[in-house]
Amino acid sequence: MIYNLLYPLSTEIGVFNVFRYITFRSVWALLTALLISIVFGPAMIRWLRRIKCGQYIQEDGPAHQAKAGTPTMGGIMIIASVTISTLLWADLSNPYVWLTMMVFVGFGAVGFADDYLKVVKKRNMGLSAKAKFLGQCAVAAAAIAVLIQEPAYSTQLAVPFFKNFQPDLGWAYLPFAMIVLVGASNAVNLTDGLDGLAIGPMVVAMACFAIFIYVSGHAQIATYLAVPNVQGIGEVTVFCGAMVGAGLGFLWFNAHPAQVFMGDVGSLSLGGALGFVAVLAKQELLLAIVGGVFVFETLSVILQVGYFKLTGGKRIFKMAPLHHHFELKGIPESKIIVRFWILSILMALMALSTLKLR
Ligand code: 57M
């Protein structure tokens, strides 16, 4: 909004020319979202307590009883600060910005419905798995269907390390991209089981995709690095900046011992948005490296459930997802969290290094 209002005046007031730069506005989007989260966070947590959004703790897992009653649905704070900050700093005539926001808020709405039934209405189960999945698919399908109509966007698939092999998936791109979005959303949800465990790697992954999005949106840099160039997506860097800021602001309160959890409204929306920026940047496959922590957590569940069924009750891990395994081995929560963060930074650096390996 600031861009749309003030940049046109730059012919008369030279200093407003600075609003032209995506990098400048992305940094300010980060700072704005961070500030909103930190300033309004305590009031939001008090409100969640007042409306009794306390977390119910399952009895069968690692000992988390001390966390019972911690307010959840803190994802509302993330969505609000990202939305306000993006609306303030992004070019609102850019369709990719609106599509990204639609995915973010759409996945958030599915998570909100689940949390609302579980936490506020005190229904044990929340949304059924089927309803949740259908909701996620509907949001993903709508966004991808609109995206592939954009003339600048192609249905080719960029394969890391092979700059000359970019198969065109045609109509099959729609289900493929839907799997990326829904998969990312659920992977982040599975990871969100220890204080700061999901938001830490999410901040790292979003910072990494801010770079990929900026590069892909910049014709010269994209050509130089031989990455797909999608004209116009550079503006989504502003959204990624806001996500990093809101994520850090949320971590301020979610750091161990957490004062608030994000709930499904947070985990589903963050995961969906992460999947979508990977699709936008045409780095769908690289998402598996950038979001390596989320992938390992999901794989641990797939392996555990598969092995459990095949062997009639035997387990590979003490408990899946992976963080439960380490907890049950007696490793302190804060150590597991920080080690997962370290891993996520390493994976993001590896992914960034592929920019030069083509
Ligand atoms: C939701 N929710 C957390 C919080 C957060 C298929 C199966 C692997 C599914 C999986 C599952 O249900 N996962 C998704 C995980 C819960 O956190 C809430 O949920 C929101 C995210 N959706 O924002 O509102 C608990 O996690 C802890 N937490 C923190 N700090 C945070 O910042 O400490 C969360 C955020 C919170 C809090 O204790 O209450 C969760 O873990 O429940 N199911 C499981 O993970 C279950 N695993 C399992 O059944 N494994 C079996 C299967 C795979 C065969 C096995 O290995 O044998 C376990 N989950 C729990 N107890 N809690 C079972 C035991």
Return the pLDDT at 46. Answer: 96
The answer to whether residue 73 sits within a structural domain is yes
State yes or no: pLDDT of 53 exceeds 80. no
- Angle formed at CA 107 by CA 334 and CA 291, multiple of 5 degrees: 45
**Other residues' Cβ atoms within 10 Å of the Cβ of residue 51:** 11
Chain mean pLDDT for the chain = 95
Pocket test for ligand 1, best of 45, 55, 59 (most atoms within 8 A of CB): 55
- Is 194 touching ligand 1 by the criterion CB < 6 Å? yes
**Closest ligand 1 atom to 64 CA:** 38
User: Is ligand 1 within 6 A of the CB of residue 308?
Assistant: yes
Task: State the DSSP code for 156.
Answer: B
> Is any ligand 1 atom within 6 A of the Cβ of residue 301?
yes
Contact call for residues 97 and 106 (beta carbons, < 8 A): no
Residue 208 lies in a domain: yes
C-alpha distance from residue 267 to each of 105, 186, 190, 193, 334 (Å): 12, 8, 9, 10, 20
User: Is residue 137 in some structural domain?
Assistant: yes
Nearest CA to ligand 1 atom 39: 57
Report the C-alpha gap between 31 and 126 in whole angstroms.
35
**258 close to ligand 1 (CB < 6 Angstrom):** yes
Which pLDDT tens digit goes with each residue over 100-131? 999 999 999 999 999 999 987 777 678 999 99
What pLDDT does residue 281 have?
Answer: 96
Any atom of ligand 1 within 6 Å of the Cβ of 72: yes
Please check whether residue 20 lies inside any domain of the structure: yes
Any atom of ligand 1 within 6 Å of the Cβ of 229: no
Mean pLDDT check: name the lowest of 31-40, 223-232, 268-277.
223-232
Q: Is 148 in the pocket of ligand 1 (CB under 6 A)?
A: no
Q: Is the CB of 60 under 6 A from ligand 1?
A: yes
CA 201 distance to own-chain centroid? 9
Q: Looking at residue 78, what is its pLDDT?
A: 98
Under DSSP, the state recorded for 220 is: H
Torsion of CA 71, 75, 76, 82, to 10 degrees: 150
Give yes or no for a contact between 272 and 139, defined as CB atoms under 8 angstroms apart: yes
Number of domains in the chain: 1
**What 3-state class would DSSP assign to 88?**
helix
Nearest CA to ligand 1 atom 4: 263
pLDDT at 171: 93
By the 8 A CB rule, do 322 and 295 touch?
A: no
Is 262 close to ligand 1, i.e. is its CB under 6 Å away?
A: yes
Total-model pTM:
0.96
Q: In DSSP terms, which residues pair with 162 in a beta bridge?
A: 159
192 token code pair? 């969100």
| Residue at 316 is within a domain | yes
- pLDDT for residue 63 is more than 90: no
CA of 118 to the centre of ligand 1 (A): 14
Residue 195 in contact with ligand 1 by CB distance below 6 A: yes
The DSSP code sequence of 31-87 is HHHHHHHHHHHHHHHHHHHHTT-BPP--SSSSS-GGGTT-B--THHHHHHHHHHHHH
Whether 358 maps to a domain, the answer reads no
Give the CA diameter of the chain. Answer: 75
Nearest CA to ligand 1 atom 2: 193
User: How many angstroms separate the CA atoms of 42 and 258, rounded?
Assistant: 12
- What is the CA 318 to chain-centroid distance, rounded? 28
**Residue 305: CB within 6 Å of ligand 1?**
yes
Exposed / middle / buried, residue 35 (Cβ in 10 Å: 0-12, 13-18, 19+): middle
Lowest mean pLDDT among 55-69, 144-158, 191-205: 55-69
* Radius of gyration for the alpha carbons in the chain, expressed in angstroms and rounded: 20
User: For residue 57, what pLDDT band results from cuts at 50, 70 and 90?
Assistant: confident
**If you take atom 47 of ligand 1, which residue's CA is the nearest one?**
320
| Residue 189: exposure state from Cβ atoms within 10 A (0-12, 13-18, ≥19) | buried
pLDDT in tens, 289-311: 999 999 999 999 999 999 999 99
Report DSSP letters for 114-152, one per residue: HHIIIIIS--SS-S-HHHHHHHHHHHHHHHHHHHTTSTT
Q: How far apart are CA 86 and CA 159, in angstroms?
A: 30
Is the confidence at residue 77, as pLDDT, over 80?
Answer: yes
Residue 54 has pLDDT above 90, yes or no: no
Q: Are 78 and 250 in contact (CB under 8 A)?
A: yes
Q: 191 near 321, Cβ under 8 Å?
A: yes
Query: Is the CB of residue 347 below 6 angstroms from any atom belonging to ligand 1?
Result: no
Q: Which domain holds residue 192?
A: 2-353
pLDDT at 241 over 80: yes
Q: What is the pLDDT of residues 148-160, one digit of tens each?
A: 999 999 999 988 8
What is the structure's pLDDT at 357? 76
Ligand 1 pocket test target in 261, 301, 310 with most atoms within 8 Å of CB: 261
Ligand 1 in contact with 255 (CB < 6 A)? no
Q: What is the mean pLDDT of residues 165-169?
A: 90
Q: pLDDT band at residue 69, thresholds of 50, 70 and 90?
A: confident
